[in-house]
Chain A
Amino acid sequence: MMTQPPSSQFWLTCPFGERATQVFLGVLFAALLIVTVLHVAVPQGSPLHVNAYTVNLFGKYLSYALLAVAVDLVWGYLGILSLGHGAFFAIGGYAMGMYLMRQIGDRGTYGHPVLPDFMVFLNWDSLPWYWQGFDMAWFAFAMVLLAPGLLALVFGFLAFRSRVTGVYLSIITQALTFALMLAFFRNEMGFGGNNGLTDFRELLGFNLRSNDTRLGLFLATGVALALGYILCRAIVTSKLGRVCVATRDAEARTRFIGYRVERFQLFVFVVSAMLAGLAGALYVPQVGIINPSEFSPLFSIEIVLWVALGGRATLYGAVIGAMLVNYAKTVFTGVMPDAWLFALGAMFVLVTVLLPKGVAGLLQKQRRKKTPTITKEATA
């Protein structure tokens, strides 16, 4: 763990953090700009042209990156290894999916003015109560944040109050997402069962199948990532964030000093869940489907790998990790699908054993080599 200076001198170390933020935001916006220019201005057929498929793919990666930032916030700074963040991601996605389903209106296969196709298929005659209101965009978008936030609030309240931490928390978060996956697979739940929600048409009046909407979603996701990053950065550099780090490194001591540790944990956990929900909501219109497989424990644990590979407790490491792993996944599953699980498994082992600080750790080490004096002052 990095040694943390006392809080009175905190702003002294802030510039490093600030610079990381500046560099990160700079790189992110440059990337967004370059992709947009290459997509719009460069004519098709030119080797530099970025096609709509790639823009969509990058948009997907960006929503994953936001999800990874959310996980890094709780794992990196709070020491809570959540193996169930996929659940919050999926719930946010379902909230968005429900809105998109209602937008289909009577253009579904069965042409029912209100009920989505799968409900007509199941012979339901009216909309279940929890589907009410999702035809209004503001309500659905609020639910994107509130639904995962509420689940995290209840779950976290129970867990942190009784001081369930460490491995135990990891295991029950995994059980949580597993239970939700089984529940969402049931047709009776009213979320489309196995097939999930799909066949979306438009979002806020924009046709989801047009390339311009895809570019817009890509940019929106990029902006959301930037905002999420800044929010997390603000949390971890505030006094609140320092209590979090103290909790991570010595929970009992922090409690003895007089902090109500569980409240800090609960607050950060809920914020992280909401960010994950937002990521899910941005993910769904870009891939065009949401189904219970997003709840699978494997997906949740994969998110943790992104963070571990990028380097925990850096935030930007989580983004790097999400990008790298998902790019590798795209390449591998395209070229040799059988090898992907080998590669993923090997990454888990190698990262934890050989690269505990991830890619960000490597970057920092390089920095330190170049400018040894600064590090000395900072750690002294």
Chain B
Amino acid sequence: MRRFLSLGFVCCLLLSLSLTAQAQTNVTPPDDKSAYALLEALDVDSYRDKGEAITAVLQSDDERARDWLQALLDGRLQRSDDGRFIVVLDNSGRNWPVADALTGEPLGEMSRRELDRIGINNALRNQLRSAIAVVDLYSPNVERRRTSANRLLGEVDGELLAPINELILEEDDGQVRNRLSQAVAIYRTEQGEMEGVEALTGSLHPRARVALSRAAHGDDPVVADAARNALASVEQNLKINRGVETLYFGLSLGSVLVLAAIGLAITFGVMGVINMAHGELMMLGAYTTWMMQQLLPGQPGLALVLSIPAGFLVAALVGVAIERSVIQFLKGRPLETLLATFGISLILQQLVRTGISPLNRTVITPEWMSGSLVINDALSLTINRMVVLAFALVVFAGLMLIMRRTRLGLEVRAVTQNRAMARSMGIRATRVDIMTFALGSGVAGLAGVALSQLTNVGPNLGQNYIIDSFMVVVFGGVGNLWGTLVAGLSLGVINQVLEPWAGAVLAKIIVLVFIILFIQKRPRGLFPQKGRAAEG
């Protein structure tokens, strides 16, 4: 990504150098008299003459042409009572700041009455838009060229064809070249040319689709047939893209569910402790992110990275406090544990509400996480969701490693299977309890840090996820981390698949009912524990 950007930057530099060189050698700057004549030609009554005048401005090679045309398009190109041409800089207030159109000198403020607007109609507006796009195509700025090439899709007419074809040969940037060829192909297709239809096959842009469907109803049966075929393949392609998008959103939602549930899978699944305050531990993680960004103003990225360990620590410490102060006294009474931790969740929520604010806090998304990755015209994937997905997988892998490969994991599994036996082998069960609970709570904190990038950070953040997370754990099979991963991701995808035809709320209800029925059928979840561990 970054390499691509820097390449683009170099391109841009080279281009601008060559362009300025050109400007110095070839083009003699037009004197103000001819420029005045150009503008004067615009101020006529006939719209046809105006259109010709616009073309003249366009062909004048004047550097100010783009500004004039843009001002004309916006209705900001006006004429003062003494016959000077004026560009209104800001026409929102009562008195407008203005500048001379020719010299660019600011002329202070003028009132509406002193000025006379050069009017345009819709046809001219369209002409101006594509004219500006064409001017921009010569701009040294790659971004500007890309935008203008995008704008030209479906706006090309016979006059523009020749210059655009020329530009395609000269253009260095592949994206711009691609776009321009497409724009030409759309024009050709609209003219009923076979060549255009062939070039548009596989293009996902909506304008291309419009052109193809128009061609499909055209006079030439061969072209119409080809257009229909092309259209069918485009539709097919679109369907696939939509499928990929749904899958992506589903996986993204699923990754959030996995993050929320995986800590629960440890405390509930491994320790058998129902922690209804789990959601509030997530909330604390999210608030830690907010707090870090307050402490490091102007560096949201650094703050976010630092809040990963910080969020883990905060949630883990609070979790240990809960374990020591309440849960340890309720060993073997799961229903009472559920109630007590629910009470704690109420207290934590209210603490945040009175201590910080009942309103949502804004957590800034750092630049490297915002924006989206454009795959093609029909598909772009938002980067923040991708990062969260990757983060969820990393957290999952880390937990797997801890449970499978470390001393702590071994001890946790031993205590889970047979507490008395584990103790007699010299394992300090209480210490293991504390460590496990700290781990599960810390992961909740991590989930909160990730969530702060996707949703609002408020006192109710945890509440919204607690039922879903329990569903994921139960669906996947208690005490099975793989089950949690599979259950979380698949529930996310199911939800997103249902959403388009059922609506968000109904999709959620359907999923809940599905899980309720599923648990009846398989009370131990997707991946039930087998053997001795199952008896606990």
Contact = CB atoms under 8 A, between A and B. Distances in A.
Contacts of A341: 346-347, 349-350, 353
Contact of A179 (B470, B474, B509, B523): B509
Contacts of B470: 171, 174-175
A346 B343 contact: yes
A301 interface: yes
Contacts of A159: 520
Nearest to A180: B509
Contacts of B512: 175-176, 178-179, 182
A274 B342 CA distance: 27
B354 interface: yes
A308 B343 CA distance: 13
Given A171-B470, A171-B474, A175-B512, A166 B334 contact: yes
Contact of A168 (B337, B343, B506, B523): B523
Contacts of A5: none
B508 interface: yes
B516 interface: yes
Given A178-B467, A341-B349, A349 B519 contact: no
Contacts of A348: 339-340, 342-344, 346
Given A182-B509, A308-B339, A175 B347 contact: no
A295 B108 CA distance: 64
Contact of A345 (B274, B330, B350, B517): B350
Given A341-B346, A349-B326, A168 B339 contact: no
A353 B346 contact: no
B381 interface: no
Interface in A46-64: none
A176 B471 CA distance: 11
Contacts of A168: 474, 519, 523
A344 B343 contact: yes
B342 A162 contact: no
A353 B323 CA distance: 12
Interface of A is mostly: helix
Contacts of B521: 162
B346 A344 contact: yes
B353 A338 contact: yes
A81 B340 CA distance: 14
Residues of A in contact with B, size category: 35 or more
Contacts of A167: 274, 334-335, 338
B507 to A, nearest CB: 10
B336 interface: yes
Contacts of B342: 301, 348
Given A304-B339, A349-B326, A342 B347 contact: yes
Contacts of B515: 172, 175
A244 interface: no
A179 B513 contact: yes
A344 to B, nearest CB: 6
Given A172-B516, A352-B330, A338 B340 contact: no
Nearest to A158: B520
B162 interface: no
B78 interface: no
A237 B516 CA distance: 33
A74 to B, nearest CB: 12
Nearest to B329: A353
B345 interface: yes
Contacts of B345: 345
B343 A347 contact: yes
B505 interface: yes
A285 interface: no
Given A301-B339, A347-B343, A348-B343, A353 B334 contact: no
Interface in A295-328: 297, 301, 304-305, 308
A186 interface: yes
Interface in B492-536: 505-506, 508-509, 512-513, 515-517, 519-521, 523
Most chain-A CB neighbours within 10 Å: which of B345, B346, B474, B517? B346
A349 B516 contact: no
A161 B519 contact: no
Nearest to B343: A348
A344 B517 CA distance: 33
Most chain-A CB neighbours within 10 Å: which of B342, B345, B349, B471? B342
Contact of A164 (B330, B335, B508, B519): B519
A377 B345 CA distance: 44
A356 interface: yes
B347 A345 contact: yes
A285 to B, nearest CB: 29
B354 A161 contact: no
Contacts of A155: 516
A167 B338 CA distance: 8
A85 to B, nearest CB: 14
Interface of A: 81, 155, 158-159, 161-164, 166-168, 170-172, 174-176, 178-179, 182-183, 185-186, 297, 301, 304-305, 308, 338, 341-342, 344-349, 351-353, 356
Given A81-B338, A162-B519, A175-B512, 5 more contacts: A338-B350, A341-B353, A345-B344, A352-B336, A352-B337
